[in-house]
Amino acid sequence: MADQLLLGSIADTPSPIPIVQESPQEGYTREMLAVEVAANPALAPYVECFPWHIPRYFRMREAQLKAFRFLSQGHDQVLLEGETGVGKSLIGIVWLSVLRKLHGYKRIFYVVPNLAQAKQIAKRFSDMVFVLEGRESHDCLYYPDQKPAWKANEIPCAILRSCGHRVDQATGKTLEEGAVPCPYYAHKYAAKQYEGIVVTTYAFYLIMRLFKSEKGVWEDHDAVVLDEVHNITPLVRNVLSYDITDWHLERAIEVVEKVDESVSVSLKKFLVVFKKIVSRNKPPFTKIVLEDDEIKKLIKALEAIDTSPLESKKNELEKMASQAEGGREALNEVQNLLFNLWRYIQSLRYAIPKEENDEIKHMALNYVFSYFVSEPIPEEEYGGRGPKVINRLTIQSHHVRPLIRKKVLLSRTLAMSATIGDRTVFGYISGIDFPQYLFLESGFPAENTRIYMPSDTPSLAYSVRSDREPAKSLESIVKECKLFNAEGIRVLVLVGSHQELDKFLFYSSPDKENLDVITYSRGRSSNSPRSDAMLGTMPKTPKEAVELFRGGKGMVLLGTEQNFSEGIDLPDGLAQVVITLRPGYPDPNSPESKFENRKFGKNGAFAIHQWLVKIRIKQARGRTERDGKIKSVTICYDQRFKGLVYYALPEKLRTSYISGKTFADCCLDARAFLKK
């Protein structure tokens, strides 16, 4: 049997190890691997640590065996690209278990983008992992009369220093003898005692690696699996980005002026500079990238804030924070300000290019943009905090490559994703350029899928599309959805914006095509009574919409590419068709695009955006397929997909790529294919 490993550095090296000859569709039993293990003892711990005891893993799949053969060669840092369905999470769990077995490692982590994914891992490997959750998952016990209890991230925990529930992270004892342990600190302590694999989110892992306040969980870390690693750059950027609003500043000032006048005076001065820079001579509702001079003024005003007098006022602050009514929320703002002040200054400094006479020269690594509204903003904005924010400043971290290399990667790291794509681009933006690379093909049969690129659809680029677009295109997609639905075929439709989503609903309404659509409202309203009537009946969040659809409700699941191209699975025929309207290129006028054009040049920025679009195409395709037993199709609508889709496909699926047919014919062909 030809070994199909695509190994970065040893691709053509013939294996000296006898390889099992059988390749059963369902994989290998332990007994079937005995011969290979005898010849290759390095593989033995992988076979031993394989979770044979979990019914769904009663056999080792071909792709998993290939991964273990590779990992057993002792590579410390590996980039693994495995198609949907190869069982990557199991590979990661087994790899960590082997390291623990061989080296006695106790501080081993499996990192995922969000808590829902962490819980999925825990569900599959319940006796092998511990899910480490952040403050937002735990009730705070400090305010016993508060019902429902506030979460540990909603209270000024650092100011409430004498809270008796606090659990000492070295001893596990509460500060006050006999007190009920704080759920958050008790959980952290339990994670520290756990000797297996700790599963957590990128955000928590990064906070733990970067910030002193959380470092106490572990002194150091031994090995890490980074799952869905194609997302690492935006995830790290988000953790290191900050929003400052006048509403929050004013709340903090209200408290501070009660305890120290000098600090409140400097905060008020900063507030004046802040408001002037954010809103003077700037249009409302528009994100404006700040000029270097404006950033320098902000830094100067922030540097003038000396919070040290508050050190001696901690008892007063704690007393105020202990009053549930009014104290808790305002003190939380003070706490954030105290902790983040130096981070604001640091991040702002990195938003200015280093100049000729600076010791270290570099271009700006972050960017700063402001945004203000001149009227109350919708309740749902800003995390449901209501119409309070008028001026907002965002310090957006961007160049995180060195930080990922220094703080996220460990000497033993397995970075995994279904969609790495161009490794040069990925390595450039993420800093993950391990020489050891492994590609795993799924057993997905090419004959069970089709990918269509219609010939007669328009380009929906702002610069070239007609005034009737994208409405006209959305109307024709609605009509085709109706034909799919008539044959009992459910469809996932991915659009690029909420305006497009509203337009799709308009054409789907009962007095138009009358489609059975499920989407999410987020409490929004559109400009159309027809769309509003439909939005009013929809669940609020994308997650709720997916759950309803998975439960059998609706024939079309509709969402933006941003919300739906990742993190949802609709395999086993839950949806057999994905129609994706247009590639998700960033808005050329957004602060991010402007910054990237300046930093990477137009060609460099374009290469990064192309990479991102290809990743999203692959992710969108992966939503409907798992093991390939049920047929599925993907239709890429916009002409800008041409030239991207084909090259985004794994080689064996390129035979499933169909172009040269009209959109209507593609859909007709898809219906015939799915019905066969």
List contacts with ligand SF4 (CB under 6 A): 140-142, 152, 155, 157, 160, 163, 165-166, 182, 184-185
Smallest distance, Å, CB 168 to ligand SF4? Answer: 11
Smallest distance, Å, CB 235 to ligand SF4? Answer: 25
Smallest distance, Å, CB 327 to ligand SF4? Answer: 13
* Residue in the block written with tokens 């137009």: 602
Give the type of residue at 553. K
Q: CB nearer to ligand SF4: give 179 or 377.
A: 179
Q: CB nearer to ligand SF4: give 169 or 466.
A: 169
Smallest distance, Å, CB 209 to ligand SF4? Answer: 22
Q: CB nearer to ligand SF4: give 147 or 280.
A: 147
* Residue in the block written with tokens 């050190």: 311
41 exposure class (CB count in 10 Å sphere: 0-12, 13-18, 19+): exposed
Question: What strands, in cross-sheet order, belong to the sheet with 491-495?
Answer: 517-518, 556-560, 491-495, 577-580, 632-636, 449-453, 657-659
Q: CB nearer to ligand SF4: give 155 or 615.
A: 155
74 CB-near residues (< 8 Å, 6+ apart) = 42
Smallest distance, Å, CB 165 to ligand SF4? Answer: 4
SS3 (DSSP) at 63: helix
620 CB-near residues (< 8 Å, 6+ apart) = 494, 561, 565, 578, 580, 634
Q: Please list, residue by residue across 275-303, b when 16 or more beta carbons sit within 10 angstroms of its beta carbon and e when fewer do.
A: bebbbeeeeeeebbbbeeebbebbbebbe
Q: CB nearer to ligand SF4: give 334 or 438.
A: 334
**658 is written with which tokens?**
């169909």
Q: CB nearer to ligand SF4: give 96 or 163.
A: 163
Smallest distance, Å, CB 145 to ligand SF4? Answer: 14
**389 is written with which tokens?**
């924010």
Q: CB nearer to ligand SF4: give 165 or 640.
A: 165
Q: Choose among 569, 447, 615, 438: nearest CA to 63.
A: 438
572 φ/ψ angles, rounded to the nearest 5 degrees: 55, 35
SS3 (DSSP) at 639: helix
521 φ/ψ angles, rounded to the nearest 5 degrees: -100, -30
Smallest distance, Å, CB 243 to ligand SF4? Answer: 23
Q: CB nearer to ligand SF4: give 160 or 223.
A: 160
* DSSP conformation class of 406: I
Smallest distance, Å, CB 11 to ligand SF4? Answer: 52
Smallest distance, Å, CB 203 to ligand SF4? Answer: 18
Report the alpha-carbon distance of residue 305 to residue 296 in Å, rounded: 15
Q: CB nearer to ligand SF4: give 328 or 616.
A: 328
Report the alpha-carbon distance of residue 149 to residue 143 in Å, rounded: 7
Smallest distance, Å, CB 159 to ligand SF4? Answer: 9
Say if strands 288-289 and 366-372 run parallel, antiparallel, or are unpaired: antiparallel
Smallest distance, Å, CB 201 to ligand SF4? Answer: 19
Smallest distance, Å, CB 164 to ligand SF4? Answer: 8
Q: CB nearer to ligand SF4: give 50 or 184.
A: 184
Radius of gyration of the CA atoms of the chain, in A:
27
Report the alpha-carbon distance of residue 338 to residue 344 in Å, rounded: 11
Smallest distance, Å, CB 342 to ligand SF4? Answer: 23
Q: CB nearer to ligand SF4: give 185 or 641.
A: 185
* DSSP conformation class of 174: B
**303 is written with which tokens?**
């540097």
375 CB-near residues (< 8 Å, 6+ apart) = none
Q: CB nearer to ligand SF4: give 49 or 203.
A: 203
**615 is written with which tokens?**
């990743």
* DSSP conformation class of 408: I
Would the CA dihedral through 18, 19, 22, 26 be positive or negative? Answer: positive
Other CB atoms within a 10 A radius of the CB of residue 137 amount to 16
Smallest distance, Å, CB 47 to ligand SF4? Answer: 44
SS3 (DSSP) at 320: helix
Q: CB nearer to ligand SF4: give 185 or 506.
A: 185
Smallest distance, Å, CB 138 to ligand SF4? Answer: 7
Q: CB nearer to ligand SF4: give 165 or 450.
A: 165
Q: Would you say 36 and 20 are in contact if contact means Cβ atoms under 8 Å apart?
A: yes
231 CB-near residues (< 8 Å, 6+ apart) = 113, 202, 417, 566
* DSSP conformation class of 579: E
Report the alpha-carbon distance of residue 494 to residue 82 in Å, rounded: 24
Q: CB nearer to ligand SF4: give 185 or 452.
A: 185
Report the alpha-carbon distance of residue 138 to residue 115 in Å, rounded: 13
